[in-house]
Amino acid sequence: MYDFKLDQVCAFILSKGARTVALQLPEGLKTHAQRIGDELNARTKANMIILGDPCYGACDLSPHYSRYADVLVHFGHAEIPSISTSDRVLFVEVRFDFDVIPLLERALPMVMKNVGLVTTVQHVPMLTSVKAFLESNGRSCHIGKGDGRIKHEGQVLGCNVTSAYAVRRDVEQFIFIGSGDFHPLAVSLETKRPVLVLDPVMDEVRTMEQLTDRVLRQRYAAIARALDGKRFGILVSSKSGQDRFALALDLADRIRSKGKLADIIVMDEIGPNQLMPFQADAFVSTACPRLAIDDQVRYPKPLLTPVELEVLLGERGWDDYRMDSILG
Ligand code: SF4
C-alpha cells in the first residue's frame, strides 16, 4: 500500500552522480529499508547506506550523512519549507493508499454541517476526494493553509496544526484522516473543536473527546506535581528542526526571576535514561511536544511543555491552555 516513488529516487541519484546514498526512514517504515536499498542499488549501481538511528520527522535529518554518502534520501515526510536544506537531500513523501469511502460512509451520521479537513502527509492527495464526497452529502468543507513549517494545505504535524487553526472559526468539527492519536489530539487541544478520526490502520471511526479530557487531566496533574519545584531542567534538542535554544534561554530567565534554579541541557536524543544524571524537580522540553504529551509515563519527574511552564509560573491561566507548537 506504500508508494516509495523509486523512479523519482533513481532519477535523483543519477542526476547527482552519487556513488554512495544514505537512506533515512522513520520507525514505521524502517522494515522496508533493505528492500528499497536492494532495488535502488540494482537500478543505479550506487552503494546504499541505511541510517539506523531513530527518526521521527523531517525535523530530524541526519547531520552526519555526508561523512558516509554523497546524497541523503529521506522517506516518509514532506520537507519543512521554513528550514533550508541542501540540494543533495531528497524528501520522498511516501503515500499510503486506501479506499476512504467506506470509512466516510460510516462516519457520515457523526459529521457536522461545517467541517475542517486535516491529515498527515501520507494522505494529503486524498483530501480532494474526501471534500467531494462530503460536499455531495450536504456538508461544507474547509481546508486551511498552514504556516511556513507546513508544505501542503490541510497537512498537520504533531507540533504544528496551523492549517487547522487557520479555519477553526469557520468550522464546528475537524475530520482527521490518518492513524494514531497524537495529530488529532494536537488539533483538538489547539482548536478546541471536536475531532472525528477516520483511521485506515484500525479501520475505525472514533472521536477524540475522551482522550482529550484524559490528557488535559494528566497535564494538569503534571503541572501540579511540579508546582513547588525549586530546580528545573530546560531540555533543548539539537535536531535541526526541533532546536528552540532561544526559547530555552528565555524560559530559564523567567524561572530564575521567580527565585528558582534553571539548567539548560542540550542533547540530541531525549529520553528517561539520558536525564538520570541530572538533579531536577521537573523538566521542561523545548523539543518535540510529543515527548511531554505522549511519553510522560516514561519519565519519573514531571516533563512540561513551555506553555505548561507558563501556567506553573502564573503567567498564563489554565483556561488559556494551548498545545505546544513549533511554528515556521
Ligand atoms: S518536532 Fe515532533 S511533531 Fe514536529 S515534525 Fe518533528 S517529530 Fe514531528
Task: For residue 327, report the distance from its CA to the centre of ligand 1, in Å.
Answer: 11
How far apart (Å, rounded) are the C-alpha atoms in residues 38 and 69?
A: 16
Has residue 1 got a pLDDT over 80?
A: no
Predicted confidence at residue 62, as pLDDT, reads: 83
Give the pLDDT confidence of 34-83 residue by residue, as tens digits. 999 999 999 999 999 999 999 999 999 988 899 999 999 999 999 999 99
C-alpha cell at 42: 540494482
Q: Which atom of ligand 1 is nearest to the CA of 158?
A: 3
E runs forming strands in 93-194: 95-96, 114-119, 140-142, 173-177
How far apart (Å, rounded) are the C-alpha atoms in residues 79 and 90?
A: 9
Give the pLDDT confidence of 253-269 residue by residue, as tens digits. 999 999 999 999 999 99
**What are the structural domains of the chain?**
2-95 (3.40.50.11840), 101-207 (3.40.50.11850), 222-320 (3.40.50.11860)
User: What pTM did the predictor assign?
Assistant: 0.95
| Ligand 1 binding pocket, CB closer than 6 Å | 56-57, 59, 157-159, 241-242, 288, 290, 326
Output the residue whose Cα is nearest ligand 1's atom 3: 158
Give the pLDDT confidence of 209-248 residue by residue, as tens digits. 999 999 999 999 999 999 999 999 999 999 989 999 999 9
How far apart (Å, rounded) are the C-alpha atoms in residues 199 and 195?
A: 12
Predicted confidence at residue 17, as pLDDT, reads: 98
Share of the chain above pLDDT 70, in %: 100
Task: For residue 325, report the distance from its CA to the centre of ligand 1, in Å.
Answer: 10
CA distance to 77, 104, 241, 257, 283, per residue, from 309 (Å)? 30, 40, 22, 13, 9
Predicted confidence at residue 99, as pLDDT, reads: 95
Predicted confidence at residue 63, as pLDDT, reads: 80
Q: Which atom of ligand 1 is nearest to the CA of 60?
A: 6
Predicted confidence at residue 97, as pLDDT, reads: 85
Q: Across the chain, what does the average pLDDT equal? A: 96
Ligand 1 site-directed mutation target among 122, 290, 295, most atoms within 8 Å of CB? 290
Phi, psi of 71 (to 5 degrees): -140, 160
Output the residue whose Cα is nearest ligand 1's atom 2: 288
Predicted confidence at residue 240, as pLDDT, reads: 87
